[in-house]
Chains A and B, each alone.
Chain A
Amino acid sequence: MSSPTDAVPALEARALTKHFRLRGRSRGKAVHAVDGVDLQLHRGAVVALVGESGSGKSTIAKLLSLLIPRTAGDIVLDGESVHGRGRRAFKRHASRVQMIFQDPFASLNPVHTVRYTLTRSLRIHGVNGRSGSLRGDDLEAALHELLTRVQLTPATRYVDKYPHELSGGQRQRVAIARALAADPEVLLADEPISMLDVSIRLGILNLLKSLRDDMNIAILYITHDIASARYFADRTMVMYAGQVVERGSSEAVTQSPAHPYTRLLLESAPDPDAPPRATRADAGEAPSLVSPPEGCRFAARCPFANDLCRSQTPQLLEIGEGRSVRCWGYSARPDRPHVDLISAVAAPSAEEGAA
């Protein structure tokens, strides 16, 4: 596993912020979709971004691929700040940072064959630095190679198909092939397997793993399923209401979660082996992103929250090697809440009888 501290990150976000301005009656207010997010993607490593709907994770992907302009903060590609203003700058960025979408059917144009979709991608990005467009045998060879790399073989069987003639998993592989045609350094995978059947999810994840290992691509894996993050990612970041609330190696975050929200996510993943345990009452919903609450955004749902949490927003605090949490419970303040981290997960509590 590569350490995140060596090498310059392939793609980095610094204090990335996105506020969507509202029109109509609520003019002047904005949806705080993403607030001050720091992110590093290194080649040959996978970072998982976990959160529920509305947490801002898809927005981050769109910001990193420059599909939408950012409100504040910086995006750094290979050490250089990027803006993507202007066609050429955007195209340069696109040839190094590619994206895979959630819905495999919707992300492929239904009227175009696989051949057309992949050829366009090859032609736009000029494979292997060739300036002339690919034709004839060269094109066939390139298409063949792309399809082989995403394990759609024999390539001739798939190359002239329309999206509706392929299964969900096959479509997603075509989408990945389209991204690979640009020979990117970074792959932003926005919930690539959520809409696929459970039985084929593993295949796609393994394909992405092989891309990380063989082609040394940096991958951002966005998901709401924290269990798959443990399987697939080297590092995991947990997002809530537009902010990062916990980050660390996947093993550490999923095995010993520090933030109450992470623990909530893990608890809600059904585990047939665990003994039935009492679930703490989880009252409340995700906060409104239009006027975020004054204090910690998770306070309304947090079983440990106290007045400090409700009045002041915590910053990300380092609690170990490459590990940080956004929670007052880990600070040294005398008025911090008492966060009961260990006992609820490991030891069966006395409330078990009430389950």
Chain B
Amino acid sequence: MTAQPAQLTPQEVEQPNTTAGVKRGKTDRGNQLLFLRNAKVISGLIVLGFFTVIAIIGPAIAPYDPDALGDDIVAPPSAQHWFGTASLGQDIFSQVLVGTRSVMFVGFVAGILATIIAVVVGVTAGYLGGAADEGLSLLSNVFLVLPALPLIIIIAGPLDGAPNIVVAVVIAVTAWAWGARVLRAQTLSHRRRDYVEAARANGESTPRIVLAEILPNLSAIIASSFVGTVTFAILTQVTLAFIGVTGLDQWSWGTVLFNAQSNQALLRGAWWWFVPAGLCIAAVGVALALVNFGIDEFVNPRLRSTGKYARALKKRGVRARVGFTPVDRRDDAAPLTPSTQKEAS
């Protein structure tokens, strides 16, 4: 088989010894599984899955009603109250459990809505060009520059305890601009490529070109943008609850922290009041970031190859430096192939 063109693609970097004649789709499915085998991604998805389950069953398994008053006031964690109690004896563990639902719901719904808006606006602007592009770009840039949190506050604030779905919509409306901008740039780049011209020359219709030809090439970017938006939405929801914008009857991790703050938990030294909620937020945030890193490494072949070979090279005493081709000067050096080291984490 003759040499392939020098274009570096993720697949080519992964499998430099591809030969034609292999069974159906094996290498490509192998790549998709490679993405999933990435340790970062797996740990991230496990944590997210855990919290999703809690979000669903939380209210059912909570030992107490989060608002129920009790006898032990501001008590540290104990057997009856795993996370301790609040100023009127409420069980904090139950509050955190019940609060999971709002956070995960708003996070993912806002993420989905914002991503849909970003795809529609970004891809349309990138593909159509001209006046439509100028107009949509102006719209995205305006939303990008407007400060998100204050904007959300003045929209949601007056609503006086808005339900989760409204909060999700408000967050989506302010958070779509970043993804739209990235997708527009990507669409512009793809639109000029030969395969789009070839599809046009073949007689393919414009909707099909956008949806079936260009969009599949953008899937990694869309996934990454989605994860990023979910992260933002979750942090924003918690923040809004903390300020008191979302209303105190909707339990959220932020509400727990709000109560902690207003009842001087810090000065009282009641660390159990706000540490668990914060750790949960951090856990979800880190999990999402890990998934995003995994996507990032999958898509950017440079990040992937340098990192993967770097570890193997280090074992041989060669330091990998970006831009340098590592040279192994030992006499017994064996060729470096993907099969001689374990898969990148």
Contacts from A to B (Cβ < 8 Å): 65, 67, 87, 90-91, 94-95, 98-99, 101-103, 105-113, 120-121, 124-125, 157-158, 160-162, 164-170, 175, 178-179, 182, 195, 197, 199-200
Contact = CB atoms under 8 A, between A and B. Distances in A.
Interface string B321-338: 000000000000000000
A168 B5 contact: yes
Given A165-B27, A175-B198, 19 more contacts: A67-B200, A91-B203, A101-B197, A107-B194, A108-B198, A109-B199, A109-B217, A110-B217, A121-B202, A158-B20, A162-B27, A164-B9, A164-B12, A167-B1, A167-B2, A167-B20, A178-B198, A178-B202, A197-B3
A249 to B, nearest CB: 29
Q: Provide the main secondary structure of the chain B interface.
A: loop
B217 A106 contact: no
A95 B193 CA distance: 22
B21 interface: yes
Contacts of B12: 164
A106 B193 contact: yes
B195 A106 contact: yes
Given A157-B21, A167-B4, A101 B9 contact: no
A40 to B, nearest CB: 21
B202 A94 contact: yes
Contact of B195 (A95, A109, A160): A109
A111 B217 contact: yes
Q: Which range holds the interface residue count of chain B? A: 20 to 34
Nearest to A106: B194
A352 to B, nearest CB: 40
Contacts, number: 94
B278 to A, nearest CB: 41
Nearest to B198: A107
In order of increasing CB-CB distance, the 4 nearest A-B pairs are A94-B203, A106-B194, A107-B194, A111-B216
B4 A168 contact: yes
15 contacts: A67-B201, A87-B205, A95-B203, A98-B201, A101-B194, A105-B5, A107-B194, A107-B195, A111-B217, A121-B202, A157-B21, A158-B20, A162-B28, A164-B12, A165-B27
Contacts of A91: 203
B213 interface: yes
B154 interface: no
A238 B217 CA distance: 39
A124 B202 contact: yes
Contact of B25 (A87, A157, A162, A195): A162
A90 to B, nearest CB: 7
Interface string B190-212: 00011101111111110000000
A170 B20 contact: yes
A103 B203 contact: no
Contacts of B21: 157
Most chain-A CB neighbours within 10 Å: which of B2, B7, B21, B204? B2
- Most chain B CB atoms below 10 A, which of A161, A175, A178: A161
Contacts of A165: 18, 20, 22, 27
